[in-house]
Amino acid sequence: MDRFLADLLRVLTFDAGFNTSVVMLGSAALGCAAGAAGTFAMLRGRTLVSDAVAHATLPGIAGAFLVAALIGRQPREAGWLMGGAAIAAFLSLAAIEWLGRRPKVGPDTATAAVLACGFGLGLALMSLVQTLTVGRQAGLETLLFGSAAGMLPGEAYAMAALAALVLLVIGAVLKELSAVAFDPDFALTAGLPVARLDALVALVCAVVVVAALPIAGFVLAVALVVIPPAAARFWSDRAGIVVSIAAAIGAVSAFSGAALSAVLSDTPTGPAIVLVAAAIFTMSLLFGRARGLVAGRA
């Protein structure tokens, strides 16, 4: 136990080597972006879209692996798997959008259908992948369960840059996104491009989920988009402040999760991040200043 605490302290104070520190900071940046983007998905009642997109990356990952194996490339190279995941994420978003507009389908059904179909196709492709002897499957494992430890400094920098971009975009259209989330009909009559702003939030969430795959894995990547906003909601009754708190909770969860996973060498990063986020959520549920069960005003 003493050993564990000593290690944890060493990691948290950036004293565990350059790579570990870079990975933790990259994760924190991504968690921050995920919390901010996820808040508007939550307020608009579209959280499940990110979950569907995350599940739908599985066929993209497996498909990219198969293609790489077929043409004799090392799948780990050159972001093959991430590319596959990104394409699948984009296609699933487009499918949800298109299906959701059909009057006899509706957004909820469209989202659930894409989630189920994407995941089903992914599992089928994965069983095919497992019959292959070509190629090492280590890269695949990373995307399925998450392993920040293997992250290269370049990847961490890319992640930080992406997080900065997401925060900039969200910050730039904060008042428009708030107006649309609260009352899309009024926003439309006031002349806001509601469909495009909705698409922007969905796209940003999808980008964050795909970027989070190497850290958190495809099932848990969505947790960074979902849990921090839900926890932040207990602390404030102002949308702008909820966004900031969600970003902070996302950053802390990802940072601490990556640190925990570095100390407990057998624990993948994804579950570690989710456990930290869940702990913060529970605290918020009980002690949140705005609407926590124990300390809330309401």
Partner 1 sequence: MLARTPPDAMPVAARTHVRDRLVVEGLSVSYRGVPALIDVTWSAPATGLTAIVGPNGAGKSTLIKAILGLVPSTGRITVGGRPFDEARDITAYVPQRASVDWDFPATALDVVLQGMVRETGWFRAYGKARRDRALSLLDRVGLADLSGRQIGQMSGGQQQRVFLARGLARDARILFLDEPLAGVDAASERIILDVFDALERDGRLVICVHHDLGTVAERFRDVLVLNKKVIAAGPTGEAFTPQVLARAYGVPLAV
Residues that bind partner 1 (CB under 8 A): 43, 103, 172-173, 175-176, 178-179, 181-183, 185-192, 233, 236-239, 241-242, 290, 298
Q: Alpha helix locations (H) across 71-152?
A: 80-101, 107-131, 138-145
Q: In whole angstroms, give the CA distance from residue 153 to residue 171.
A: 27
Can you give the three-state secondary structure of 25-79, one letter per residue? HHHHHHHHHHHHHHHHHHHCCCHHHHHHHHHHHHHHHHHHHHHHHHCCCCCCHHH
Sign of CA dihedral 205, 211, 213, 215: negative
With beta carbons less than 8 A apart as the criterion, state whether 95 and 55 touch.
no
With beta carbons less than 8 A apart as the criterion, state whether 245 and 236 touch.
yes
With beta carbons less than 8 A apart as the criterion, state whether 86 and 213 touch.
no
Tokens representing residue 29 in the block:
């940046």
Residue 298: CB minimum distance to partner 1, A: 7
Q: In whole angstroms, give the CA distance from residue 76 to residue 47.
A: 30
Residue 197: CB minimum distance to partner 1, A: 11
Sign of CA dihedral 204, 206, 212, 214: negative
Cβ proximity to partner 1, 76 vs 233, nearer residue = 233
Residue 173: CB minimum distance to partner 1, A: 7
Cβ proximity to partner 1, 194 vs 213, nearer residue = 194
Residue 107: CB minimum distance to partner 1, A: 16
Residue 182: CB minimum distance to partner 1, A: 5
Residue 169: CB minimum distance to partner 1, A: 11
Helix, strand or coil, per DSSP, at residue 261: helix
